[in-house]
Structure 1
Amino acid sequence: MNTNLKRISIGLSALGLLSLVACQSMEQGTGQKASANLEPRSGSQTKGEVIFVWQGSDVLINGKFSGLKPNAEQGFHVHEKGDCSAPDAMSAGGHFNPETKAHGMPNSGMNHAGDLPNIKSDANGNATYTAKLHDFAVNTGPTGIVGRSVVIHRDPDDYKSQPAGNSGPRIACGLIK
């Protein structure tokens, strides 16, 4: 009987190790994609499209925007709620922050998961956007952004003011799906 208990124990240990490896692999992406179409809010003309692609532990973000303030920077964040219904986009809630960290510079380790680099517009108020971040996943899990919203703010994020970088009113919002 002692031999049978050892076999059961070894089997359970192997199963536990296999479960641990499976959980770790869920933190890695293999090309999962999500996108959002941003529509104007707060009386702006700002709109755009953003695509998120999960590759390994990084998420590649690409976007195209128009109707921005020319030659300027605008704050850009993933927000906690997938609701852009309010005229001022306040229905999107605060920044996505599953680890309850302070607001800060993206990829610094001292930031909300939803803190993204600012958008930089050209002389015509248009912008293309590319960033690579690792604080969130492209899924619906606890660190996932699918079902949340992405918001453009009128002013640049200063990456230090709490709780949201002093980036002003929300001028565009889109549901991430």
Structure 2
Amino acid sequence: MKRWMFLVLTMALIAVLAACSGNNTEYDGDEEETFLEEESEGTSGSSQEVTVNLMDTNEEEVATATLTESESGVNVALEGENLPPGEHGFHIHETGSCELPDFESAGGHYNPTDANHGMEDPEGPHAGDMENIEVGEDGTVDTEVTADMVTLEDGQDNTLFTEDGTALMIHSEADDYETQPSGDAGDRIACGVVSK
């Protein structure tokens, strides 16, 4: 009887030790690193969103731009109405000011790298140069462009939140992507300050 009891206890002890040794793997930090990487990917600047209201020279709101950080730069989703039909230059300007009568207070294009204007200039473009927008015959626009040389992150190179601020501008004509200093895009017809 004692032998049988000893055998049962020995078998139980072996089973317990075998179960414990299966979970006794060394931790090398990979799991925590993976968790931190996934967490940082989910909380990077991609969640930041900035809304910019653009006003025309009659102080009427004609467009709203929603700016979001992405891996390729800042996406600008633009929706507007009561704008002149056709193709228009659309830029980020170097000063966060939209004073009437002509929005000249916004300064030139945002150009922290001191480049030439235009995507077709070999020494360009300005960080604030973007693709033209197309306004429909009904005066509306609903489009998205990417400013791939700027960021919404504070303290980074080419941030839109500079000491002087920045502004979005719609021009009366199309940007030809090469004429200096602003693409021959005509008058400034709508302006909005980029702010948090």
* TM-score where L is the length of structure 2: 0.69
2:172 counterpart (145, 154, 164): 154
- Could you say what secondary structure the match of 1:91 adopts? helix
Please state if 1:30 is matched with 2:46. Answer: yes
Q: Determine which structure has more spread, i.e. the larger CA radius of gyration.
A: 2
Q: Which ranges of 4 or more aligned residues in structure 1 deviate by more than 4 Å?
A: 43-46
How many residues get paired? 148
Aligned amino acid, residue 51 of structure 2: S
Aligned twin of 1:145: 160
Q: What is the Cα deviation at residue 159 of structure 1?
A: 0.4
Please state if 1:95 is matched with 2:95. Answer: no
Q: Using CA pairs below 8 Å that are at least 6 residues apart, which structure has the higher relative contact order?
A: 1
Aligned twin of 2:97: 83
Task: Please list, as runs of the form range in 1=range in 2, the aligned pairs for 1:23-172 lying within 5 A after superposition.
Answer: 29-41=45-57, 47-70=62-85, 72-105=86-119, 110-141=124-155, 142-146=157-161, 147-172=165-190
Please state if 1:173 is matched with 2:191. Answer: yes
- Could you say what secondary structure the match of 1:100 adopts? coil
* C-alpha separation in 1, matches of 2:107 and 2:147: 21
Q: What is the Cα deviation at residue 135 of structure 1?
A: 0.3
Distance 1:45 1:37, change over 3 A: closer
Aligned twin of 1:17: none
% identical equivalent positions: 35
**Does the 8 A contact of 1:38 with 1:47 survive in 2?**
yes
**Does the 8 A contact of 2:133 with 2:143 survive in 1?**
yes
* C-alpha separation in 2, matches of 1:91 and 1:132: 24
Q: Deviations over 1:82-112 (max 9, x none)?
A: 0002310000000000001001128x88200
**Does the 8 A contact of 1:44 with 1:172 survive in 2?**
no
Cα RMSD, aligned residues only: 2.3
* C-alpha separation in 2, matches of 1:101 and 1:109: 6
Unaligned runs of 5+ in 2: 1-43
Q: Report the more deviating stretch, 160-169 or 133-142.
A: 133-142
Q: What is the Cα deviation at residue 44 of structure 1?
A: 8.6
**Does the 8 A contact of 1:154 with 1:169 survive in 2?**
yes
More helix by share: 2
Aligned amino acid, residue 131 of structure 2: P
